Structure 1
Amino acid sequence: MTESNEQNHNTQPPTKKAAIPPHMKAVSGSLGGIVEACCLQPIDVIKTRLQLDRSGNYKGIVHCGTTIVRTEGVRALWKGLTPFATHLTLKYSLRMGSNAVFQAAFKDSQTGKLSNHGRLLSGFGAGVLEALAIVTPFEVVKIRLQQQKGLSPELLKYKGPIHCARMIIREEGLLGLWAGAAPTVMRNGTNQAAMFTAKNAFDVVLWHKHEGDGKVLQPWQSMISGFLAGTAGPICTGPFDVVKTRLMAQSREGGELKYKGMIHAIRTIYAEEGLRALWRGLIPRLMRIPPGQAIMWAVADQITGLYERRYLLNAPL
């Protein structure tokens, strides 16, 4: 009888680890997004201006930033902060929450383990969802605000984010807020698939941190993992980001649109400006995205790590 019990015990499937609920992942991401937006908005403004510069007015990152400050004032470096901060908060909330939901769906039903394939698909799904639901309309408004030069309200077409959104809908229809959706989907889906997979890998390799083990990373550890995970995406998705910006910035006010879609925009930019133009703004993207991921993950990991240690470490499985 004892031997039979032992055999039954040994053949039982391994127990699943308790997972951090999606809503906690969403909260951690939204708080990380707020901190990131406030710190890195000037770099985003410079990146947008460089990507929209067809005549070579700006000689580089430093020249662009000093020109903006000299001609428009320091406040101009934080143009579009309201939609940018709101956009990041909602984006990270949806990204982290939906990624957790997708990961739960792809986990092995017996062991609760997630394969690398499942992690990639979860990240891509979260990126596509955030691109369509949040990123595209918010970035359209942000880019339209950022491309305006000057600080005098009477000289600006768009007076603020709400006014900008209303003007776009009135002049271009509701779909005008989703200009550049295709390259945004490709950029965000690829970015998040790589980022979530890389972040998990760096946590395991560098710090021996596994989800569910109750270990809380130090903020500097999270920043290193987040920074490294955030470097590959901008290099791989540079053309999608440039095309996205060009498509979002153009309006129907002057008549026909210069770019008809993602493929047409890539061909046109390549023909008129050369191959390097498809990676224009890459350096400020690398100055913004990896540090942004470092900041976001430093905040998010502290929140999820403390929750994990307090509620899951000794939780019944």
Structure 2
Amino acid sequence: MKNDIPFSVTFLAGATAGISEVLCLYPLDVVKTRMQLSVGQSQYKGTFDCLRQIVKNEGPAFLYRGILPPIMMEAPKRALKFASNDFYGKLWRRVFNVKKNTPMLSVLTGSCAGFTETFVVVPFELVKIRLQDSRNMAHYSGTYDCLRKIVSEEGLRSLYNGFEATMWRHVIWNAGYFGLIQKVRKLLPKTTTRRGEMAKNLAAGTLGGICGTMLCTPFDVVKSRVQTTVKVPGQVPKYNWAFPAVRTIWREEGVRALYKGFIPKVLRLGPGGGILLVVFNGVLELYKKFQLA
């Protein structure tokens, strides 16, 4: 990314990319969450069976239940992801006195960007997860009601339940995503056409999204479990800190349980990563075009 692009443009590009990705692929996120929350023997035979059961038992509209928090979150979240990745890239290049990002430097900047966006993400993720959980259908009537009840029943601090697990999820996903994008783009043939450049971005972003998803899914499973647990004063929840929770799930349900919901997650974040990169770079190219006009 060129240094002469203002932060406001980077922010707008990231916001546009994030909202585009959510609108296209949100139902897969609902399916992913349902599969992650099934403890022990799952009631779902797989991704498409879960999708079928939700539509049959709860109606097609439930595939979009809880979408308002992600829509509200995606603009600041994705904007912060790309803008902070750009900021940390410049920072670490100065620190290490290099002119271009290396793959390892991309991993470092991506990790820092993931840590930064966690502060924005957690409250929105908490509300979204609570709304997606079928056990809460009678308790929460919608986004505002869910937010109000969480604060009144569990306290204001509870909006950051699951911060640590979410932080690990985002640090690891961003490290894999941004770390692989540069490598893939270098391996792909050079192109001089706009369509060819979009194809490169789609391929690099998709592979980056798949890599990030493979690495971070265990922490996403833990995050979902932590955020659906209502904190009770004086009681230590079963799923609390990330690494002990990973160990608990592994011991009680086996290593495969740490990858529950992987298929819908990778189906979303693989192509989703491609959509993010294509739309993000598309907005930047549009800005450059108008600057030169």
TM-score, normalisation: structure 2: 0.89
Flag structure 1 segments of 5+ consecutive residues without an equivalent: 1-16
**Partner residue of 1:221 out of 200, 212, 223:** 200
Conserved? CA contact 1:22–1:96, under 8 Å: no
Identity of aligned residues (%): 34
**Partner residue of 1:57 out of 43, 56, 68:** 43
Change over 3 Å in CA distance of 1:221–1:263 after alignment to 2: closer
Deviation at 1:271, TM superposition (A): 2.1
Aligned to 1:8: none
Q: 1:225 and 1:93 mapped to 2: Cα distance?
A: 19
One-letter identity of the residue aligned with 1:39: C
Q: 2:273 and 2:240 mapped to 1: Cα distance?
A: 32
Conserved? CA contact 1:216–1:306, under 8 Å: no
Deviation at 1:253, TM superposition (A): 6.1
Change over 3 Å in CA distance of 1:281–1:183 after alignment to 2: same
Deviation at 1:218, TM superposition (A): 4.1
**Partner residue of 2:171 out of 189, 192, 195:** 189
The worse-fitting range, judged by mean Cα deviation, of 194-203 and 274-283 is 194-203
**Partner residue of 1:291 out of 245, 259, 271:** 271
Q: Map 1:118-129 to 2 at 5 A.
A: 118-129=105-116
**Structure 2 residue 282 is matched with structure 1 residue 302:** yes
Structure 1 SS opposite 2:239: coil
Change over 3 Å in CA distance of 1:240–1:227 after alignment to 2: same
Q: 1:183 and 1:67 mapped to 2: Cα distance?
A: 29
Deviation at 1:242, TM superposition (A): 0.6
Q: 1:38 and 1:215 mapped to 2: Cα distance?
A: 24
**Partner residue of 1:106 out of 84, 92, 116:** 92
Q: Map 1:60-139 to 2 at 5 A.
A: 60-108=46-94, 112-131=99-118, 133-139=119-125
Deviation at 1:93, TM superposition (A): 0.7
Change over 3 Å in CA distance of 1:255–1:52 after alignment to 2: farther
Deviation at 1:207, TM superposition (A): 4.7
Deviation at 1:286, TM superposition (A): 0.8
Root-mean-square deviation over aligned CA pairs: 2.6
One-letter identity of the residue aligned with 2:272: G
**Partner residue of 2:238 out of 258, 262, 267:** 258
Deviation at 1:106, TM superposition (A): 2.1
Deviation at 1:268, TM superposition (A): 2.0
One-letter identity of the residue aligned with 2:30: V
Conserved? CA contact 1:90–1:134, under 8 Å: yes
Structure 2 SS opposite 1:252: coil
TM-score, normalisation: structure 1: 0.83
Flag structure 2 segments of 5+ consecutive residues without an equivalent: none
Deviation at 1:130, TM superposition (A): 0.5
Aligned to 1:274: 254
Deviation at 1:255, TM superposition (A): 8.2
Larger helix proportion of the pair: 2
Change over 3 Å in CA distance of 1:111–1:179 after alignment to 2: closer
Conserved? CA contact 2:104–2:179, under 8 Å: no
**Structure 2 residue 235 is matched with structure 1 residue 238:** no
| Alignment: residue pair count | 289
Deviation at 1:284, TM superposition (A): 1.1
Conserved? CA contact 1:215–1:309, under 8 Å: no
One-letter identity of the residue aligned with 1:299: V
Structure 2 SS opposite 1:260: coil
Structure 2 SS opposite 1:107: helix
- The superposition leaves residues 7-30 of structure 1 with CA deviations (integer Å, 9 ceiling, x where unpaired) of xxxxxxxxxx74433322221111
Structure 1 SS opposite 2:188: helix
One-letter identity of the residue aligned with 1:43: L
- The superposition leaves residues 50-101 of structure 1 with CA deviations (integer Å, 9 ceiling, x where unpaired) of 0011242111111111111011111011111111222222210111111111
